[in-house]
Structure 1
């Protein structure tokens, strides 16, 4: 008897640049600092830290509706650091560095000149916080 295995994969595609720009102008620029600081408050508690880290990992999506590449390409999820390494990094460095990194990025995002740098910084915020590779 032959058993067939079917693998169901779903692909999440990025939204158009127009939709992402409209989202940023209407919601992303003001919602991102709120999410960043709320997530950071959650991360300083022991019990709610996992929720805070999950929110930090979603900040690029809040800013510009960018989908994590691990959703669009599941193979990229395999290159993550181990949970132990990520947890140790977070406890020693990530929790405080991410707070300054994210707030500087949010400040830059409201300026025309700083916007490209802010988007670059926000896309790297999950890595700065917990070594999570948002964009592979």
Structure 2
């Protein structure tokens, strides 16, 4: 726990800002979109060194019961709204992660970045 706290204070949030910026740029291209989504899925791990399976266990169970949106709707959402909203969403999440009180909400928001970006229910 102490190692994770020191990592977060010294490196974690800086690495998370750079990581999310790179993932956001990859998501702007069709070719880089899959890698960008994988990077967004790993963002909480980059921020806190917490294993991904422990972070996403609850949110995966909650999201798998919902039906997937059709691909054309998801594509239009991504083009017209998704990538704009994701930039705002990640910025707010990283600001929340800087504060101790807002960190749980910030990590939860980072877990849901793929849904905000593409409306993908299961990731």
TM-score with structure 2 setting the length: 0.68
Q: In 2, Cα distance between the equivalents of 1:66 and 1:58?
A: 9
Instruction: Give the equivalent residue in structure 1 for 2:83.
Output: 95
Structure showing greater radius of gyration is 1
* Greater displacement, 44-53 / 90-99: 44-53
| Residues 51 and 21 of structure 1: CA distance in aligned 2, closer, same or farther (over 3 Å) | same
Query: Is 2:22 aligned against 1:41?
Result: no
Match of 2:95 in 1: 107
- In structure 1, runs of 5+ residues without a counterpart are 1-17
The alignment of Structure 1 onto Structure 2 pairs a total of residues equal to 117
Q: Does residue 54 in structure 1 map to residue 42 in structure 2?
A: no
Residues 117/60 of structure 1: CA separation in 2 closer, same or farther (3 Å cut): same
| Partner residue in 2 for 1:67 | 52
CA separation of 1:110/1:96 partners in 2, compared to 1, >3 Å: closer, same or farther? same
Q: RMSD across aligned C-alpha pairs, in angstroms?
A: 3.4
Deviation at 1:127, TM superposition (A): 1.8
Q: Is the Cα contact below 8 Å between 1:36 and 1:103 reproduced in 2?
A: no
Structure 1 consecutive aligned stretches of length 4 or more whose deviation exceeds 6 Å: none
